């Protein structure tokens, strides 16, 4: 109390404005998604159907999770540790995409080399992932997608991870899926060849984020 009594009522900080000018940063938050290219905006009926299908997938996954978790993984499946970002990118996308190697047609008799093409999100795999791992892998793949092109392998894993996300969303998951939807909207605008199948996949992810996970400000306006 004696020390407090000796302090002045008002204290003025000595700030050098020249230092502030050098270190100023501006963060701008983009609230919505970019609209779909003309002629490719999904209808409301289509969006509602996708949400219904997705909801059914989630219910089935939750119902049979313990069964699939108990199934033995194939001998060639080694799931990376949760914190192994590079390991998960290779596991999900395959060495070929991860290393950006041109596709090489393998002898069909040799079967599929999952190390090269990536492991699909099998129920026996995703059922073993807890929420921390699901969120981490989602973050790794979204980070990858931020600089790379969209691929079917990436799309399958994003769908599966969204199906595994528990509601209510954790704050980090909430931020991640919004980032994902915005990135999808950017990529479909930049899609030069207007690949209908790819745009449909991007529309689907935006639809699930916005309408199933209640991020309505990101939703596509019905065509």
Residue 194: predicted pLDDT: 78
Q: What is the pLDDT of residue 13?
A: 58
> Cis peptide leading into 160, omega within 30 of 0?
no
Q: Is residue 197 part of a domain?
A: yes
- Residue 163 and residue 143: Cα distance in Å, rounded? 19
Strand segments, DSSP code E, in the chain are none
Which residues in the chain land under pLDDT 50? Answer: 20, 22-29, 106-109
Q: What are phi and psi of 169, to 5 degrees?
A: -70, 145
Q: Let me know if residue 20 belongs to a domain.
A: no
Length in residues, the chain: 223
Give the separation between CA 47 and CA 36, rounded to whole angstroms: 14
pLDDT on residue 183? 96
Q: What is the CA radius of gyration of the chain?
A: 23
Q: What pLDDT is attached to residue 71?
A: 87
- Domain of residue 45, residue span: 41-102+110-218
First to last CA, the chain: 69
Q: For 89, list phi and psi in degrees, rounded to 5.
A: -60, -45
Number of domains into which the chain is organized: 1
In 3-state terms, what secondary structure has residue 59? Answer: helix
Residue 6 maps to a domain: no
Residue 137 in any domain: the answer is yes
CATH of the domain at 48: 1.20.58.1070
pLDDT in tens, 115-171: 788 899 999 999 999 999 999 999 999 999 999 999 999 999 999 999 999 999 999
Q: Is 0.85 topped by the overall pTM?
A: no
Is 3 inside a domain boundary?
no
68-75's contacts with Cβ under 8 Å and 24+ in sequence apart are 68/123, 68/124, 68/127, 69/124, 69/127, 69/128, 71/124, 72/124, 73/124, 73/125
Structural domain includes residue 53: yes
Residue 33 placed within a domain: no
Nearest CA-CA partner of 215 in 177, 166, 188, 159: 177
Residue 134: inside a domain: yes
The number of angstroms, rounded, from the C-alpha of 16 to the middle of its chain's C-alpha atoms is 42
Pairwise CA distance, residues 201 & 170, whole Å: 25
């Amino acid at each position: 109390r004696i020390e407090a009594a000796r302090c002045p009522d008002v204290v003025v900080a000595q700030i050098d404005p020249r230092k502030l000018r050098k270190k100023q940063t501006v963060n701008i938050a983009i609230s919505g998604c970019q609209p779909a290219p003309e002629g490719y905006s999904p209808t409301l009926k289509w969006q509602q159907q996708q949400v219904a299908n997705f909801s059914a997938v989630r219910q089935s996954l939750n119902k049979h999770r313990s069964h699939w978790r108990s199934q033995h993984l194939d001998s060639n499946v080694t799931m990376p540790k949760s914190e192994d970002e590079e390991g998960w990118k290779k596991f999900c996308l395959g060495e070929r995409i991860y290393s950006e190697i041109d596709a090489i047609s393998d002898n069909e008799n040799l079967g599929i080399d999952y190390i090269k093409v990536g492991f699909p999100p099998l129920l026996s795999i995703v059922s073993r992932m807890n929420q921390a791992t699901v969120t981490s892998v989602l973050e790794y793949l979204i980070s990858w997608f931020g600089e790379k092109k969209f691929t079917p392998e990436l799309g399958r894993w994003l769908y599966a991870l969204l199906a595994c996300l528990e509601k209510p969303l954790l704050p980090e998951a909430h931020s991640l899926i919004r980032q994902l939807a915005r990135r999808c909207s950017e990529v479909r605008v930049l899609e030069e060849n207007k690949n209908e199948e790819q745009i449909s996949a991007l529309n689907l992810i935006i639809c699930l984020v916005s309408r199933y996970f209640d991020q309505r400000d990101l939703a596509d306006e019905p065509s």
